């Protein structure tokens, strides 16, 4: 599995300094995730789940160690190249949706496509397809303030998949939703997982983790179970 891992982390460490004190939310972590796997990362607050997700997305940089995604050493990319790599390869789903309030659902979903060499017609077709996939074809012209929390998260998922990235990272995507909306979002993620995307889901909700192919537990920056 190590050889054909889509995600490969070795000795991954993230250290912050707070005065004389060193804090390591991720500490010497090794992780392998094969392509197409739906992995759930669980752990209590402060266990390093979100930090790991940020390191995988290239949003944060490790203090030590190596992150390879699809054969690319993400931690070695320059800021500019990292932004371009992220635009092509990562779809990110946030707990609080992080939609741009001044843009409609359509325009929010269109954002990642503005970074790709696509015509307006191609962008339109892809956005409509993504919004249809999350069941929001009838809400394209709505602004985030006109949508429910569940609908906002579905728009965020459409935004994360519209450019068809090989890696989908979800940070507590159901953490701010009621049970019904959360179930709908998890069903959506499960169906995306079945279509061969590599998904890493961070959650502290065991029900949410059930939709994943594999569950790993994090505590104090280390995996409690050996990497599969």
Partner 1 sequence: MWLPFRYAVRNLGRDPARLALAVLGSALVVLLVMAADALDRGVRRTLRATGRPDNVILLGAGSEESVQRSEISPRAAAIAEAGIPGILDVGGLKAVAPEIHYMAPLEVGGRAGFDAYLRGGTPAALLVYPNVALIEGRFPRPGEVMVGRFAWRRLGVRPEELRPGAVVRLDDVPLRVVGCFAAPGTVLESEIWADLNDLRTIARRETLSCVVLRLRPGADPADAELFAHQRLDLELVALPEPVYYAKLARFYAPIRGMIWLTALLIAAGAVFGGLNTLYAAFAGRVREVGTLQTLGFPPPAIVVSFVQESLLASLAGTILAAVFAVIAFEHLTVEVGGGVFAMTAGPGTVLAGLIAGAALGLIGSLPPAVRCLTPPLPEALRTG
Q: Binding residues for partner 1, per CB under 8 A?
A: 50-51, 54, 57, 59-60, 80, 83-84, 86-88, 92, 94, 98, 100-103, 107, 111-112, 114-115, 159
Q: Using the minimum distance from each CB to partner 1, give the nearer residue, 88 or 194.
A: 88
Least Å from the CB of residue 83 to partner 1: 5
Least Å from the CB of residue 215 to partner 1: 24
Least Å from the CB of residue 171 to partner 1: 9
Q: Using the minimum distance from each CB to partner 1, give the nearer residue, 127 or 211.
A: 127
Q: Using the minimum distance from each CB to partner 1, give the nearer residue, 87 or 140.
A: 87
- Determine the Cα–Cα distance for residues 57 and 27; give it in Å rounded to an integer: 18
> In the structure encoding, which two tokens stand for residue 139, read together?
């809400």
- Determine the Cα–Cα distance for residues 104 and 61; give it in Å rounded to an integer: 32
Least Å from the CB of residue 149 to partner 1: 16
Q: Using the minimum distance from each CB to partner 1, give the nearer residue, 57 or 211.
A: 57
């Amino acid at each position: 599995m190590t050889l054909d891992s889509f995600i490969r982390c070795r000795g991954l460490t993230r250290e912050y300094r707070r005065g004389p004190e060193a804090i390591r939310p991720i500490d010497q972590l090794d992780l392998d995730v094969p392509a197409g796997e739906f992995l759930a990362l669980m752990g209590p607050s402060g266990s390093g789940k979100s930090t790991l997700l940020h390191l995988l997305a290239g949003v944060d940089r490790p203090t030590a160690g190596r992150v390879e995604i699809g054969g690319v050493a993400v931690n070695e990319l320059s800021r500019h190249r990292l932004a371009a790599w992220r635009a092509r390869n990562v779809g990110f789903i946030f707990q609080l949706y992080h939609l741009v309030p001044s843009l409609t659902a359509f325009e929010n979903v269109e954002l990642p496509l503005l970074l790709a060499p696509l015509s307006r017609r191609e962008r339109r077709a892809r956005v409509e397809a993504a919004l249809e996939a999350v069941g929001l074809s009838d809400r394209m012209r709505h602004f985030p303030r006109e949508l429910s929390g569940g609908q906002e998260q579905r728009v965020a998922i459409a935004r994360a998949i519209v450019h068809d990235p090989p890696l989908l990272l979800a940070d507590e995507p159901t953490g701010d939703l009621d049970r019904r909306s959360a179930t709908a979002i998890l069903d959506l993620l499960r169906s995306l997982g079945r279509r061969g995307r590599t998904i890493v889901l961070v959650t502290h909700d065991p029900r949410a983790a059930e939709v994943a192919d594999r569950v790993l537990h994090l505590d104090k920056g280390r995996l409690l179970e050996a990497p599969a």
